[in-house]
């Protein structure tokens, strides 16, 4: 068990180093040598966990939709909103999430398949929307709405990062949801949904408290 804990910690240290190097250099210019030096682990340890630069990048990309889970809500639409708001909050506070999102938009990473995060996020949102079926307007096609939410979020976060260094991200995400959800959600449901800009931070606090001790340890390592 102790050995496994150490393996988990080593893996997280390597991913954190990879995230930093990918963010500083971009995928193309990043080297395993620099990731090794930043992680301060042996070559053997790194290759035990990740066999190539591409695997390191896929590891960083995969981190953004893992770990924190949004608490169950009375309204499934609120869970959609909380998932989006929590992701926006983690973008501002978690270097690993930020590196994953930036890597997924790294246009010089031509040999890296960057579709994964988009497809996984679409699936997560689609799953929530399908569970929310009874709260949605009858014309809604959940797969289309999921794609629109994921794609538009990617752009709104990029615009916020470029214009304000994420200072206005919560406001922009809230405005995005206010433009899309009234055309997706029954008015009677939407009236009960909290779309305010501070939602992400509140959900993060709640989800962190709800996490069990070992999960919290992983969280802090990120």
**Interface residues toward a second copy, by CB under 8 A:** 25-26, 28-29, 102, 104-108, 114-115, 118-119, 144-145, 147-148, 150-160, 162-163, 172, 175-176, 179-180, 182-184
Chain CA centroid to CA 61, Å: 9
Interatomic CA distance for residues 183 and 164, integer angstroms = 29
Quickly tell me which residue has 């909050």 as its tokens.
Answer: 89
Angle at 89 between CA 5 and CA 142, to 5 degrees: 100
Give whichever of 158 and 210 is closer to a second copy, judged by the CB atom: 158
Nearer to a second copy (CB atom), residue 46 or residue 156: 156
If the CB atoms of residues 31 and 108 are measured against a second copy, the closer one turns out to be 108
Shortest distance, CB of residue 172 to a second copy, whole angstroms? 6
Report the C-alpha gap between 210 and 99 in whole angstroms. Answer: 25
Cβ 102 to a second copy shortest distance, Å: 5
Least distance (Å) between residue 112 CB and a second copy? 10
Distance CA 112, CA 100 (A): 13
Do 108 and 28 meet the contact criterion of CB atoms below 8 Å apart? yes
Q: How far is the CB of 182 from a second copy (least distance, A)?
A: 5
Residue 13 to residue 19: CA distance in whole angstroms: 10
Q: Look at the block and give the residue holding tokens 């040999």.
A: 111
* 3-class DSSP state of 221: helix
**Pick from 172, 26, 177, 178: nearest CA to 105:** 26
For a second copy, the closer of residues 54 and 147 by Cβ is: 147
Comparing CB distances to a second copy, the nearer of 123 and 215 is 123
CB of 180 to a second copy, least distance (A): 5
């Amino acid at each position: 068990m102790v050995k496994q804990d150490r393996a988990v910690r080593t893996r997280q240290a390597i991913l954190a180093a990879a995230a930093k190097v990918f963010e500083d250099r971009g995928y193309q210019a990043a080297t395993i040598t620099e990731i090794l030096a930043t992680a301060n682990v042996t070559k053997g340890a790194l290759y035990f966990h990740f066999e190539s630069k591409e695997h390191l990048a896929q590891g960083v990309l995969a981190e953004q939709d893992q770990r924190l889970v949004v608490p169950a809500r009375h309204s499934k639409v609120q869970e959609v909103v909380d998932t989006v708001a929590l992701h926006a909050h983690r973008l501002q506070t978690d270097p690993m999430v930020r590196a994953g999102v930036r890597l997924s938009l790294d246009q010089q990473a031509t040999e890296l398949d960057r579709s994964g995060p988009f497809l996984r996020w679409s699936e997560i949102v689609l799953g929530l929307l399908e569970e929310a079926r009874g709260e949605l307007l009858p014309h809604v096609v959940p797969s289309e709405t999921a794609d629109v939410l994921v794609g538009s979020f990617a752009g709104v976060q990029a615009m916020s990062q470029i214009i304000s260094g994420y200072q206005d991200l919560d406001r922009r995400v809230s405005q995005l949801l206010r433009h899309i959800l009234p055309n997706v959600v029954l008015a009677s449901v939407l009236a009960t949904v909290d779309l305010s800009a501070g939602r992400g931070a509140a959900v993060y606090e709640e989800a962190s408290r709800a996490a069990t001790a070992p999960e919290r340890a992983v969280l802090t390592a990120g």
